[in-house]
Amino acid sequence: MLSFAVRCLIGALPGLGLLAALAVLAAGDGAARALAALPVTLGLVAGALALGLLAGVPLGLAAGRFRRGPLGAPGAALAALGPAVPAFLAVAVAFAVGRGGSPELLLAALAVAPAADGARIARGALAAALEGGFVLAARGRGVPAGRVLRRHALPAALAPVAGALGGMAAALTAGAVLGEALFGLPGAGALFLEAARAGAAGPAVAAAAALGGMVLALHVAGRIVGGWLDPRERAA
């Protein structure tokens, strides 16, 4: 597991190095301003990921476990909602409906997309895992169904969710950039838009590099968690 984590980190070094070089080369105090503003954006993105996945993944797992019947219906409905409500659209609707609103409203709006994505991925992954050879073999050996679910099927279903964190984070970052501008939050996304509108290339590039580094770091973290949950991911 440690060697897998190290490989993930080493694989990310070229991208992180390039983004760091862009931030350093940004004129003036752009890099310092971007780093100072990044925690606001990171808080929004990480908070929305946590809130959305905590809400969506259990519903998706229920939908994968109970594919026919009322217990799986909420997760199936949430999974189907995903493509229709991208993060930036949810943010715009929340701002319009809330007439400005609060950071909590923005966080809830951002959480809609990862909740739907988490439900969709978990639903499909658990359904596939329950029909996989290793689960069927465990059942054939007389292993209790509950233990098969906990020890084999659930880790295999959760690993793809963790592996998708990078893509979710990228989509959420676009929504967070818009949200910071609309809700008046001093994050790296708002700094990027402000600098771009003013034609200030240095701060804009530094903010973009900071946002890219954040997404890449979340992607690497997701890969490591996915490898910890399911050893088969380490060989991918």
pLDDT of 3: 66
Q: What pLDDT band is residue 76 in, cutting at 50, 70 and 90?
A: confident
150 vs 32 pLDDT, higher one: 32
What's residue 40's pLDDT? Answer: 94
pLDDT of residue 88: 86
> Cα(19)–Cα(51) distance, rounded to whole angstroms?
28
Q: Which pLDDT score is estimated for 176?
A: 93
Q: Span 124-128, mean pLDDT?
A: 86
Average pLDDT score, the chain: 80
Lowest-confidence region among 34-38, 128-132, 161-165, 197-201: 128-132
Q: Choose the weakest-confidence range: 22-36, 51-65, 189-203, 211-225.
A: 22-36
User: Cβ of 155: how many Cβ atoms within 10 Å?
Assistant: 17
State the pLDDT at residue 104.
87
Six-digit token string for 110: 């951002």
Give pLDDT, residue 142.
61
Q: What domain range includes position 62?
A: 2-234
pTM of the model: 0.82
Band of pLDDT at residue 35, cut at 50, 70 and 90: confident
pLDDT confidence of residue 109 = 92
pLDDT of residue 25: 61
Number of domains into which the chain is organized:
1
List Cβ neighbours of 120 (8 Å cut-off, separation of 6 or more). Answer: 60, 78, 79, 80, 82
**CATH value at residue 100:** 1.10.3720.10
Cβ contact 65:148 at 8 Å: no
